[in-house]
Amino acid sequence: MSSPTAPTEESARDEEVLRVVVRRRPYLWVVYAVLAVILVAAGYSAATNQRFGWGVVATYFLSSAILKGLLMTLELTVVSMLFGIVLGVLLAMMAVSRTRVLSTVSRGYVWFFRGTPLLVQLLFWFNLAALYPRLGLGIPGRDPLFSVGANEIISPFVAAILALSLHEAAYMAEIVRSGVIGVDRGQRQAALALGMRPARVMRRIVLPQAMRTIIPPTGNQTISMLKTSSLVSVIALSDLLYTAQSIYGINYQVIPLLVVASLWYLIVVSVLSVGQGFLERRYGRGSV
Amino acid sequence: MSSGHAPEMVRIRGVRKSYGSQEALCGVDLDVHQGEVVCLIGPSGSGKSTLLRCINHLDTVDAGSILVDGELVGYRRRGNTLVELSAAEAARRRAAIGMVFQQFHLFPHMTVLQNITEAPVGVLRQPVDRATARARELLDRVGLTDKERAYPAELSGGQQQRVAIARALAMGPKLMLFDEPTSALDPELVGDVLAVMRGLAEDGMTMVVVTHEMGFAREVGDSLVFMDGGVIVEAGKPRDVITNPVHQRTQTFLSKVL
């Protein structure tokens, strides 16, 4: 104890036994209490307000009409997202290309399809026959090689897919482009220096790294598409919302049927969110 | 090791290159013989990295010619003009030239092993098991046998750079280009990387090295080239250039780095 080093050893040992406690935040209990009150109130209201019509909700929730509508909504979402992503990737590749004409075409596409409302595009494709009654291929002034009536091929479903896909592609192009330009330039150079061709560099080196920044907004777009596809009710395509509307148009159970549609949208969005998290982990490999 | 009789691996004649109004290279001539180690030194902005990137056509030249093993890398000669090759043809010729970067540029989404086998499998069409076996040999050579399953982010800078060297060697290059390979490393990690490069030189690899490591240049280099303002100011045996620089600019530069 009398030696000069003793006190420091003593204090060092004291520090070793000091206990660390997490800072207490008692005000959090107030937040929990308020939340609990709000939840209970909302639950009580939902349970006791007869106008929610939970019995009607239960009747229609798994009805074949609603399930068919749900299937249509899922089809529209999946098909439009697939076309949108493929076309979007293509447009993004054109946008980052050194070839001026390709990047200009890509910019023009994005300008046009992002610049007009989706609802307008939907109605436009649906009414294409008013602009071009017959669609065909040939040389102007001569009989076409073949032609068909626009109304024969542009069914409401085709019009919906066209509108949703082409519109989505414009947004996906921007998402993919930002992902690609976010990848370090050195990656491309290192890959080129190894003798890879530009297409391979893009496919094996740049895009997989860009995926990390592409996936979150793409998940967002898919969720958004699921709900935006309900716009097709204006062209009388029987998706989830249109089916619900058709049913309450007959039985006047407006609120219960909107609840049925909302519940299904929520369920599908939840599943999509889980899938997005899975993809994010898959493409986050190698990052710390 | 340097001998005037060995065939030329790199032959650079009258190369000019500018970025906008900024002249990076103003007429460079340089020969690198087979098995020779040439070190390029000079202040930043002197054009040494640009010259290196022109050798494997990562950068285009505005005039002049660069032959590697008797072949133009990014161009085809048509009379008195050089026509740029298609990306695929340029890629094929580039595959025989290894390059190591200051910032390593390992592919972060691939393991060490995948980094090394990616190009041999994808570009040279080697069978995966053969490329893997070769990759393990190279990892052994750079002293990283136990790291093949690691991702680049889990490695130190020195380890990453050694993987980058192994990745370049996996293509069986006839020429290796090093662009300040130790400049981004912590001082205690520089030695491992230089040791690998020294081993390569001893095995007779032709190397062009942009570096600030004067010790390496003196001991391993067969010739030392000092560049400034886009031209080669002075070149010769490393010992001569370092101890007896002829030009004022070389003297000034050396007095700062030695």
pLDDT values of chain A reduced to their tens digit, one per residue, 288 residues: 444 544 555 555 666 788 888 888 888 999 999 999 999 999 999 999 998 999 999 999 999 999 999 999 999 999 999 999 999 999 999 999 989 999 999 999 999 999 999 999 999 999 988 888 888 887 877 777 778 888 888 899 999 999 999 999 999 999 999 999 999 999 999 999 999 999 999 999 999 999 989 999 999 999 999 999 999 999 989 999 999 999 999 999 999 999 999 999 999 999 999 999 888 888 877 665
Mean pLDDT of B166-195: 95
C-beta separation of B162 from B193 below 8 A: yes
Distance of alpha carbon B138 from alpha carbon B132, whole angstroms: 10
Kindly report the nearest CA distance between residue B119 and chain A, in angstroms: 6
pLDDT tens-digit readout, B55-93: 999 999 999 999 999 999 889 988 888 898 988 889 999
* pTM confidence score: 0.82
Distance of alpha carbon B195 from alpha carbon B216, whole angstroms: 9
pLDDT for residue B135 is more than 60: yes
Average pLDDT, chain B: 93
Percent of chain B topping pLDDT 90: 86
pLDDT at A90: 96
B172 interfaces chain A, CB cutoff of 8 Å = no
Question: In chain A, which residue's Cα lies nearest the Cα of B101?
Answer: A190
What phi, psi does B36 have (nearest 5°)? -90, 150
Question: In chain A, which residue's Cα lies nearest the Cα of B150?
Answer: A286
pLDDT at B3: 47
Residue B107, both tokens: 């592919």
pLDDT at A153: 83
CB contact (8 A) between residue B105 and residue A200: no
- Print the SS3 string covering chain B: CCCCCCCEEEEEEEEEEEECCEEEEEEEEEEEECCCEEEEECCCCCCHHHHHHHHCCCCCCCEEEEEECCEECCEEEECCEEEECCHHHHHHHHCCEEEECCCCCCCCCCCHHHHHHHHHHHCCCCCHHHHHHHHHHHHHHCCCHHHCCCCHHHCCHHHHHHHHHHHHHCCCCCEEEEECCCCCCCHHHHHHHHHHHHHHHHCCCCEEEECCCHHHHHHHCCEEEEEECCEEEEEECHHHHHHCCCCHHHHHHHHHHC
A4 interfaces chain B, CB cutoff of 8 Å = no
B63 - beta bridge partners? B16
Bigger pLDDT: B152 vs A17: B152
pLDDT at A1: 45
A148 secondary structure, DSSP code = E
Question: In chain A, which residue's Cα lies nearest the Cα of B118?
Answer: A204
pLDDT at A25: 86
Residue B16, both tokens: 């000019």
Residue with tokens 């982010």: B153
Other C-beta atoms within 10 Å of A120: how many? 10
pLDDT at A132: 84
A149 secondary structure, DSSP code = E
Q: CB within 8 A of A283, min separation 6: which ones?
A: A208, A211, A212, A215, B109
Closest CA to B73 of B50, B55, B49: B55
Mean pLDDT of B143-166: 95
Distance of alpha carbon A57 from alpha carbon A44, whole angstroms: 17
A283 interfaces chain B, CB cutoff of 8 Å = yes
Instruction: Specify the 3-state DSSP secondary structure of A243.
Output: helix
pLDDT for residue B1 is more than 70: no
pLDDT at A136: 81
B149 interfaces chain A, CB cutoff of 8 Å = no
Kindly report the nearest CA distance between residue B209 and chain A, in angstroms: 16
Query: Hey, what amino acid is at B89?
Result: E
Percent of chain B topping pLDDT 70: 98
3-state helix, strand, coil in chain A (%, to 5): 80, 5, 20
Interface mutation vs chain A, best among B58, B106, B107, B110, most A CBs within 10 Å: B107
pLDDT at A8: 53
